[in-house]
Amino acid sequence: MLIDRGQENIGKWQETVNEVEEAIIRRHREAAREEMRQAYEEVDRKIGGEMLATGRYVDKGYVRRRIITAVGIVGIRVKRLKRKGRAGSLYPILTAGRVDTISGPARKRCIQAAVGQSYAESQKTLETLAGMTISRMGIWKVVQEAGRAELRRCEQDRKAMFERGEIPEGCKSSQEKAVIEVDGILIGARPEVVESQEVAGRRRMEVKVGVVFCGVHQQSQGRRRTVGRSIHAQISTTEEFAESWYVHCLKHGIDEQTSVHMLGDGAPWIQTVRRETFPESRYTLDLCHLRRNARAVLTERQYGDFSRRIWSGSGTEMIAYIRALRPSDRLHRKELDTFQQYLESNREGLVYRPGKLNGSGVVEKIVDILVARRMKRRGMSWSKEGANNIIALRALSLNRESILWDSRLPSPTF
């Protein structure tokens, strides 16, 4: 009985403490909003005074305006000015001061929330954690604007390199060695997207993803982390991706002087990217994809014989073995022919070394984190522009995290 009563009292005290905490948070937000109101209005008065002092404007009193901030909506009184001889009104802090109706910190929080979850979930998160009242469409507009700005920056670098022959600004010094992994993933596309394709009854478009890293840090037994990692991704043609990917690598010190090891799953567009960017790189066909494709067409005994040839040092024995197999029927012959073509088109990459990097697991994990977790949820479909904007911001966020992590690590090794 005493134990039950004690637990009941503990529960009451916990509830009381929670209520006190919520009350303190509300008071702090209210105080912050009041301080911000005063600051905004003071800036407005100063700008308005300077404009009136020129003699070109007429004071038409005050109007009420709302600004969405990181602690909620702030209502302010701003001056309304009219330029002599012209129609329309001007508001000093909003027009001349170029202060947006959504503050900078509020925009930053919108982007931080929306790059990791849906716009509806972001709206709830911002309301609960920051007291921000902003619509889903408001969050969407902030994200689209920020994404377009990042894409414009990347496009300017690409055009500078391939149209004007200029080296992009901010390039790092040449890296001695680097690993590049490239992969793609399909996401749901809106019906109007021209670049989409019909897959399993739904419109899909492919996100091309590239990751480069310059070393590996052994965190613990069986656990390693890439060092100097940088990500680039977009929905575009193979040529556009190859150019923008090359510029991205160049800015991170990956150039003709770098010894590059490139891995991929054997898709034709990945081979094209390699030829267009780092044709002298050493290429490896992802071992997991090779084994998966082999299992799909070979019997258990045939697969065992084929696996032993993987470590022979070249793809010649693997291709010869598949060519010599007797098919069980016409369909099997067709499957074997397709697999043989797959091997021949990736012949250069059929060189595997025990204990060395033979798989593209890094980019597959990045594809999951960067694209799948945000953009492949049930019922989601995307426009090309909307998807590219989100991808650009998520890649930017992951790259910043990688830079912060690298600063804490010793020199990398392969």
For residue 197, pLDDT over 90 is answered with: no
Same domain, 15 and 61: yes
Q: Is 191 domain-assigned? A: yes
Q: Which of 213, 180, 156, 143 is nearest to 403 (CA)?
A: 213
Confidence at 122, pLDDT banded by 50, 70, 90: very high
Confidence at 284, pLDDT banded by 50, 70, 90: very high
Same domain, 390 and 294: yes
345 close to 271: Cβ distance less than 8 angstroms = yes
Same domain, 341 and 223: yes
Q: Is 349 domain-assigned? A: yes
Q: How many C-beta neighbours within 10 Å does residue 178 have?
A: 25
Q: What is the mean pLDDT of residues 81-110?
A: 87
Q: Is 412 domain-assigned? A: no
pLDDT for residue 237: 94
**Final residue belonging to a domain, choices 121, 150, 169:** 169
- Coil, strand or helix: which one is 26? helix
State the sign of the Cα–Cα–Cα–Cα dihedral 208, 214, 215, 219: negative
For residue 4, pLDDT over 60 is answered with: no
Percent of the chain scored above 90 by pLDDT?
64
The half-sphere exposure of 56 on its side-chain side, counting CA atoms within 13 A, is 7
**Final residue belonging to a domain, choices 150, 169, 188:** 169
Domain total in the chain: 3
Percent of the chain scored above 70 by pLDDT?
93
- Coil, strand or helix: which one is 59? strand
What is the overall mean pLDDT for the chain?
A: 89
Q: How many C-beta neighbours within 10 Å does residue 118 have?
A: 15
Segments forming the whole domain that contains residue 384: 172-406
| C-alpha span between 158 and 44 (Å, rounded) | 41
Q: Is 413 domain-assigned? A: no
| C-alpha span between 182 and 273 (Å, rounded) | 9
pLDDT for residue 413: 53
Same domain, 156 and 179: no
Q: Is 80 domain-assigned? A: yes
The half-sphere exposure of 396 on its side-chain side, counting CA atoms within 13 A, is 18
pLDDT, tens digit (0-9, with 9 covering 90-100), for 307-338: 999 987 678 899 999 999 888 888 888 999 99
280 close to 272: Cβ distance less than 8 angstroms = no
Q: Is 159 domain-assigned? A: yes
Same domain, 186 and 296: yes
Same domain, 177 and 306: yes
Q: Is 414 domain-assigned? A: no
pLDDT for residue 407: 57
pLDDT for residue 3: 52
Confidence at 137, pLDDT banded by 50, 70, 90: very high
| C-alpha span between 319 and 322 (Å, rounded) | 5
C-alpha distance from residue 358 to each of 177, 197, 219 (Å) = 16, 31, 20
For residue 20, pLDDT over 70 is answered with: yes
pLDDT for residue 220: 67
pLDDT for residue 195: 76
252 close to 226: Cβ distance less than 8 angstroms = no
